[in-house]
Every structure is written in C-alpha cells, then in structure tokens.
Structure 1
Amino acid sequence: MLSTRHGVRPLGAADLNAFLELARRDPVVNAFVDYRAVTTNLEPRWLGGEMWGRFEGGQLVAACHVGANLVPVNAGPDDAVAFAERALARGRTVSTIVGPQEAVRVFWNGVASSWGRPREARWDQPHLVIAGEPQVAFDPEVRRTTSGDMAQLYPACVAMYTEEVGVSPEAGGGAELYRARVSQLVNRGWSFARFDRTGRLVFKAEVACATPYAAQIQGVWVPPDYRGQGLATAGMAAVVRAVRREIAPNVSLYVNEWNHPARAAYQKVGFRETARFATIMY
C-alpha cells in the first residue's frame, strides 16, 4: 500500500532491480545511491535509514536516500515536493541534504520552515567527470595507502574534513567511527596518497563509493604549506589513472564553486562539468 497520495513508500529488497534501473539512467551522478543500494540490498538496518520511492501508474519514477545523507534520485520538482511532504511528517533525521541542485532546492523549500536553520548551504557545486586518460602527467609517487600509513593518513583526513566541512569529524565523540571509516577505505584499496622523503603526507584522496559504471572521489587534500606546487594536479592524475584501470571507467567528484584552485587543478587533469550539485549541512 502506498503511504501518501503522492505514491511514496519505503523501498525494500524486492524493489532493488527497479531502483537500479532508475538510478542507472544517470549512473555517474547516481553513483553513491547505486553503491548504497547494492551493498545494502535496500535493507533499512544496513542502510541506516530508508530509501523512498515515488510511483506513478505502478512504475518507480523517482527515489530518495534517507540516511545520514538525504539524496534525491532522478527527482523532478513534483517528486521533490512529494519527498519533502513525507520528510515533514517524520521530522529531520539527516545531517546533510545533497544532490542535483534543482531537486535539493525544491526539497529544501518544502522543509525549510520546519527543519530549522542549517549550519551552511552550498548551492553551487560543479559535478565533474573524467571518462578518459588524464591530460597531464601523473605523479608516480602516489600509491595506495596501507594500515602502516595511518599515523600520517588519519590526521590528514581529520584536517581535510575539518577544513572542508567546518567541524571536526571527531566532535561529539566521533573519533572512533571516523577512524574506522578511514581504515575501511584503506583496506578496500580506495585510499591514495603521496609522501615526501621524510615520510610526511603531502597529497591524499579517497574513493568514496564505486559501481561498475563510476567511482566518486572525496577527500582531496594537500597540506597548506605544500599548496601551489602542482601536487594536487599530478596527484589527481595518478588517482584517475589507477581508478579507471582498476575500479571504474568514469571518475567523478563535486567541488565548491568558489574553490578556484581545486577547480583549476581538476580542469587540467581533464575533468569536465556535467551537472550542478547543492549541499545543505546541519
């Protein structure tokens, strides 16, 4: 039975194929939700939340991931309004709303009066993709990290997160969980870094999620005193090369519109904008 007049209900394992068909209409933009669906089988206990679907004539036409992150999937304006109405009925449980700009904007307009003031809203985030070889030379010193690198890697991850998000991932007792997340990426072979001759980490990046179609990069970071030396450009070329050869054919990320140095580095590597994202953080 559908739970609202708009045809929105939680999806489950029986809906997995229909959901993947929907998400893979835009497999690069939807890499995160595709990955989450496959790895959790849409089971709420593994999702840490729910995946909502909106149906028309019995067909799944849009979806919405509702965990720590709320992510609209192939959602037009009417879909985003319907998801916002369902979200209002249950109250805010998410810490971030992120996804294609227009869907996030419509959803936010529907919940803003009840969900309270966000800590920050980033409305213009270019979503970038590279589907070929890097256009600059790659840094041969960039490699996958190992558990033996954690003494350098973990503080760098904390510094990057704090600089990017505005709060430490260790705040509120989150250090153990965040360290486990970093270790998980290392163990999967999804963490890359370059170290100088003294052993100091001078570049890093991680694969946040991956499907057979695309991998999404996160956590690109160079220490402030090493910036401006081309480490991010050559480092990202190395990451793209490794990821495309061993993980997924398309490599994507999204970046803040105002981060001109990062955008310039990605453009040199060969990334091109394919969409605009927005992120609202509580």
Structure 2
Amino acid sequence: MGWRPALRSRSAAPGDGSGAGARVLGPDDLVEARRVCTRDPVASVLAAARLDVALHVGLAAAGGQVWGYPATGELRAVCWAGANLVPVVPSSVDPAEADDAVASFAALARQQGRRSSSVVGEQRTTLRLWELLSRVWPPPREVRTDQPSLVLDRDPLVAPDPGVRHADLSELELVLPACVRMFTEEVGYSPVAGGGSAYAARVRSLVAERRSFVRIEPDDDGAPRVVFKAELGAVSGGVAQVQGVWVDPELRGRGFSVPGMAAVVALTRQHVAPVVSLYVNGFNAPALATYRRVGFEQAGTFATVLF
C-alpha cells in the first residue's frame, strides 16, 4: 500500500503536549535523522538501517516515511513509518519531551491510519505509542511487552560451529522454506500466504548480501535440509541485529543452537559489524539461555505490537 503525505504541523510548540509537534521529513533531513539514531545505536538499529537505505536510494524506494520531532529546530526524536512503525526517542531526551515526541508521532500515525504490520522498538516508547494508537487503530493480534535486548561486542564464549556458513543463492530453494517455517512458527501466519513475493524477495536479498547464515545437512533420505539458520535483519552504525534464528523442530535439543549462534556472532563480527544484537521474548527461556551461554548480555528491553 502506498503512503499518503501527512500534514506538516509547525504551529504547535514542542513540549506542549498537543501531539502536534512532529512533521514528515524530506530528503534534506535524512542526515540529521540518522544522527539522532547514533545516540543509541543498538536500540535504534531497525530505524537506522531503513534511513541508510533512504539515504542511498531515496525515501520512495526505501518504502516508507520518516517523522521528526520537534516540527522546527534540531531533531530530538525520529520515527520510521513503513512496513514497521519504529519510534526512536534517545534515552538522553527529557521524559516530558519524550512523552510529547511519542504523542506527536501518534498524531501523525492517526492521520494516516494503520499501514504497518507492527510497532516495534524500545519498550517504554513503543508501549506508550501503542497506548495512544489503540484508541483509534484496530486491535492487534498480539502485544509482546517484554523482549530483552541483548548485545555481544566480543568473541563468543563457546566455540563456533564450523558447519555454519553464509548461505548461497544456489541454496535459495532450501533457505526460503526454512525462513517461512520460522516466521509462521514465531508470528502465527505464513508470510507467503496469498503469494508472498515481497517476503521471498527479502530472503533472496539477505542471501545475496551475505547476511543469511545456515547449516545444511542431509536428511534420512540423503536430501539436503537446513538444520540451523539466522539472518542479519538490520545492519547500521556498527551494529548488526540478528533475526530469524531457527533450528529444525525435529533436531531441537541436539546442540545446534549454541554453537550455531556462536558462529553467527563470529562471522558477523569478522565481516559485518563489531556489535551483534538481538531481541527475544522474555517468556522464551530456552532462547534466553542459549544467547547467554554464547555471551550475550542485556542492554535494554524492546516491545512489539503485531497486527
């Protein structure tokens, strides 16, 4: 679905609580918006990665808008509005000003209606934004309120699995079904229902960019299958965020996840970015245990609203 331009509201003073203190940013604002993200590179990596794309190919091709707060003067907070709604309000922002920034983003989101499949970001900011939007947006499928944000900026604590490597485009017919299975299991519906060409293109792009990691082994009949996989879903500012970690359900409990994640960390730090991050549902005790064994430590908390 295309994006309608939102109204630029410059009349309200920042911090007045009206929720009218944000505006839609243009190409000339992108460098400053990107600078806002550098104040908290781990928490903002999802938005920063989209801003990097917009700086490279333009906002239209990047698939969304960028909103900035306040409407005039130096930007203090930004929000990426595309397939995901990702608010970025750095922790250095005064709490009252942060509340007004979120209210301002909510005002723009209400003007345009729900066009994103999720709202995701730092816990307090995301849940406050959803509190305001829930009054007018349709009910979500799920609200995940507690998602520890984990970071590792050194070598993993365990030996990497030597069988984990970058996926190759020639293996796309193996990688894509594994990605679909992971997404369906995690989110609750198939990303290729009704066609899914955009999802398939996204998986292909990650493989082509060497941001997809796999371990492939023969099954009982000798046919190759993905037994472990993960992707770097967002990379920006020296931070790479791991997404889509998955072990074939038939092989869980056999020791693939810990050395597999260690390999993802080692390869990422060697070739992509020095800081590796991810976020995980707080109720997912096995995943949290895996990441902590690899050496990840909690740096914050995310929340996600899924539609």
Residue aligning to 1:187: 208
Report the count of equivalent residues.
Answer: 281
Provide the C-alpha distance between the structure 1 equivalents of 2:54 and 2:24, rounded to a whole number of angstroms. Answer: 14
Question: What is the Cα deviation at residue 57 of structure 1?
Answer: 6.1
1:114-154 CA distances to partner (integer Å, 9 max, x unpaired)?
Answer: 10110111111011110000001110011111122122211
Matched residue, 2:17: none
- For 1:280, the equivalent position in structure 2 comes to 305
Deviation at 1:195, TM superposition (A): 1.5
Alignment map for 1:62-73 (pairs within 5 Å): 62-73=77-88
Specify the alignment match of 2:93 in structure 1. Answer: none
Taking structure 1 as the reference length, the TM-score comes to 0.95
Q: Is the 8 A contact 1:130 1:252 kept in 2?
A: yes
Contact 2:9 2:71 in 1 (8 A): no
CA distance, structure 2, for counterparts of residue 29 and residue 151 of structure 1: 33
Match of 1:30 among 33, 44, 53: 44
For the 8 Å contact 2:165–2:213, the answer to whether it is kept is: yes
Amino acid at match of 1:9: R
> How far 1:200 moved relative to its partner?
2.1
Matching residue of 2:283:
258
Q: Counterpart in 2 of 1:82?
A: 104
Match of residue 206 from structure 1? 231
- Give the RMSD, CA atoms, in angstroms: 1.6
What CA distance in whole angstroms lies between the structure 1 residues aligned with 2:8 and 2:200?
Answer: 40
- Structure 1: runs of 5 or more not aligned: none
Change over 3 Å in CA distance of 1:56–1:45 after alignment to 2: closer
Does residue 242 in structure 1 map to residue 263 in structure 2? no
SS of the counterpart of 2:115? coil
Amino acid aligned to 1:207: L
Match of 1:3 among 6, 9, 12: 9
Instruction: State the distance in 1 between where 2:177 and 2:215 align.
Output: 14
Aligned partners of 1:12 and 1:43 also within 8 Å:
no
Determine helix, strand or coil for the equivalent of 2:75.
strand
Deviations 1:75-98 (A, max 9, x none): 622211111122112211111100
Q: What is the Cα deviation at residue 47 of structure 1?
A: 2.8
Cα distance in 1 between the residues matched to 2:294 and 2:246:
16
* Paired position in structure 2 for 1:165: 187
Greater mean deviation of Cα atoms: 23-32 or 86-95: 86-95
Alignment of 1:9-158 (within 5 A): 9-41=23-55, 43-55=58-70, 58-74=73-89, 76-158=98-180
In structure 1, distance between residues paired with 2:237 and 2:126: 26
* Maintained 8 Å contact 2:22/2:69: yes
Q: TM-score, normalised by structure 2?
A: 0.88
Q: Which residue of 1 aligns with 2:15?
A: none
SS of equivalent to 1:160: helix
Partners in 2 of 1:239 and 1:3 — Cα distance?
44
Q: Distance in 2 between matches of 1:124 and 1:31?
A: 18
Shift of 1:172: 2.7
Superposition deviation, residue 177 in structure 1: 1.9
**1:3 positional shift:** 1.3
1: distance between equivalents of 2:237 and 2:81? 23
Shift of 1:212: 3.9
* Cα deviation 1:34-69 (Å, max 9, x = unaligned): 111111128431232210001276110111111010
Change (3 A) 1:90 1:151: closer
